Amino acid sequence: MALSQVQLERLHTSATDKIGKRKNLIINGAMKVSQRGTSEASVSTTKYAKAPDRWRFVGSNGGTWTVSQSTTSPNLFKNSYKFDCTTADSSLGAGDFLAFDQGLEGLDLQGLGWGTSDAKSVTVSFHVRSNKTGTYTCELFQGAGGVGGSNILVSKSYTISAADTWEKKTITFSGNTAVAFTNDNSRQLTLNLWLAAGSNFTGGTFSDGTFHNANNKRVASGQVNLADNTSNEWYITGVQVEVGSVATDFEHRSFGEELALCERYYEKSYNLSVVPGTATDEGLLMWLANRNPGLPHTSLRYRTIKRANPTVTIFNTNTADSNTLRDKDAAADLAPVITRLGVSGNTVHTNSSVTLGNFIAYHYTSEAEL
Q: What is the mean pLDDT of residues 192-210?
A: 97
pTM of the model: 0.93
Q: Please say if the pLDDT value at position 19 is more than 90.
A: no
pLDDT at 288: 79
| Domains identified in the chain and CATH numbers | 5-261 (2.60.120.260), 285-367 (2.60.40)
Pure H helices in the chain: 5-18, 199-202, 255-263
Q: Please say if the pLDDT value at position 336 is more than 70.
A: yes
Instruction: State the Cα torsion 314-315-317-318 to the nearest 10°.
Output: 130
End-to-end Cα distance, the chain: 47
- Among the listed residues 17, 3, 8, the one whose alpha carbon sits nearest the alpha carbon of residue 240: 17
Distance between CA 225 and CA 194 in Å, rounded? 9
Q: Please say if the pLDDT value at position 229 is more than 80.
A: yes
Least confident of 139-153, 170-184, 187-201, 207-221: 139-153
Measured in residues, the chain has a length of 370
Give me the percent of the chain exceeding a pLDDT of 70: 92
